[in-house]
């Protein structure tokens, strides 16, 4: 959990030095890899405490200054796993990142009239410390029956770690460009894999909507389903 006093101190120091806040990058988070059945309530809540409430703490602390300025841009770092949950073993992590997407969409609507902008950053695989032992938690009581989850765990810890194709420096350059834009994106997907996953999710949703539209929309009191 982020120490709120340290957040306040960092904000105060920044304002004292620069006079205002222009850009806030909210990157609280760590990975959680385990099937939903495997993870205890405590393990799941800890992930939410950092990934969701840690980010919310920062937002609450910076908004008084941004409202005073009538300007500023908040970048909340989510994940492509915050747009699609189709990753075995990442259910809780995805849930935290879905939460970041949801509250950032609401935040953008809440502060738009105040001249404040908000963007959700949804990256794919970048070569960071995300998959190292200190940043990726695994279940205290794994269940062997979840083969897909164990395979995913082994792949992420042994094969993908330190082999991610994404360059973090280039990701930062894109975020900087978005911060300069008069019309920045609400959703900023980073890397080709993020675009591929997002495209697939959008196509799946559109297909489900089309296949079930007739029945699903005939649900008013004055309508009778066939």
Active-site residue, selected from the candidate residues 44, 55, 78, 84:
78
- Asked if residue 206 has pLDDT above 80, the reply is yes
Distance CA 223, CA 81 (A): 38
Active-site residue, selected from the candidate residues 79, 93, 125, 146:
93
How many other C-beta atoms can be found within 10 angstroms of the C-beta atom of residue 98?
Answer: 18
DSSP string, 91-133: HHHHHHHHHHHHHHHHHHHHHGGGT-EEEEEEE--BSSSTTST
Is position 93 annotated as part of the catalytic site?
yes
Name the 3-class secondary structure at 134. coil
pLDDT tens digit string along 17-73? 999 999 999 987 888 999 999 999 999 999 999 999 999 999 999 999 999 999 999
Distance CA 123, CA 195 (A): 9
Angle at 116 between CA 102 and CA 61, to 5 degrees: 75
Mean pLDDT of the residues in the chain: 90
Distance CA 159, CA 110 (A): 42
Top-confidence residue, 95 or 127: 95
Top-confidence residue, 124 or 134: 124
User: Mean of the pLDDT values across residues 163-168?
Assistant: 78
Distance CA 55, CA 157 (A): 26
Active-site residue, selected from the candidate residues 97, 117, 125, 146:
97
- Please classify residue 218 by burial: count the beta carbons closer than 10 Å to its beta carbon, then call 0-12 exposed, 13-18 middle and 19+ buried: exposed
Nearest to 187 by CA among 89, 128, 120, 101: 120
Sign for the pseudo-dihedral over CA of 187, 33, 205, 195: positive
User: Mean of the pLDDT values across residues 127-135?
Assistant: 68
pLDDT of residue 2: 56
Is position 135 annotated as part of the catalytic site?
no
pTM of the model: 0.90
Model confidence band, residue 134 (pLDDT cutoffs 50, 70, 90): low
Model confidence band, residue 129 (pLDDT cutoffs 50, 70, 90): low
User: Mean of the pLDDT values across residues 176-182?
Assistant: 96
CATH code at 4-212: 3.40.50.720
pLDDT of residue 167: 84
């Amino acid at each position: 959990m982020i120490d709120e006093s340290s957040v306040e101190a960092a904000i105060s120091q920044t304002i004292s030095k620069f006079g205002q806040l222009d850009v806030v990058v909210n990157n609280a988070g760590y990975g959680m890899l385990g099937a939903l059945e495997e993870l205890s309530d405590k393990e799941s809540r800890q992930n939410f405490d950092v990934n969701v409430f840690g980010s919310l703490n920062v937002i609450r602390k910076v908004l008084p200054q941004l409202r005073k300025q009538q300007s500023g841009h908040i970048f909340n770092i989510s994940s492509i796993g915050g747009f699609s949950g189709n990753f075995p073993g990442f259910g809780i992590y995805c849930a935290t990142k879905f939460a970041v997407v949801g509250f950032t969409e609401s935040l953008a609507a809440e502060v738009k009239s105040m001249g404040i902008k908000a963007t959700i950053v949804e990256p794919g695989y970048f070569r960071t410390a995300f998959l190292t032992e200190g940043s990726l938690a695994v279940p205290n009581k794994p269940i062997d029956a979840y083969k897909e989850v164990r395979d995913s765990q082994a792949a992420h810890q042994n094969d993908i770690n330190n082999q991610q194709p994404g360059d973090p420096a280039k990701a930062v350059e894109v975020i900087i460009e978005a911060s300069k834009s008069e019309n920045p994106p609400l959703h900023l997907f980073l890397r080709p894999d993020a675009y591929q996953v997002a495209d697939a999710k959008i196509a799946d949703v559109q297909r489900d909507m089309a296949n079930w539209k007739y029945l699903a929309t005939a649900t008013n009191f004055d309508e009778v389903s066939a």
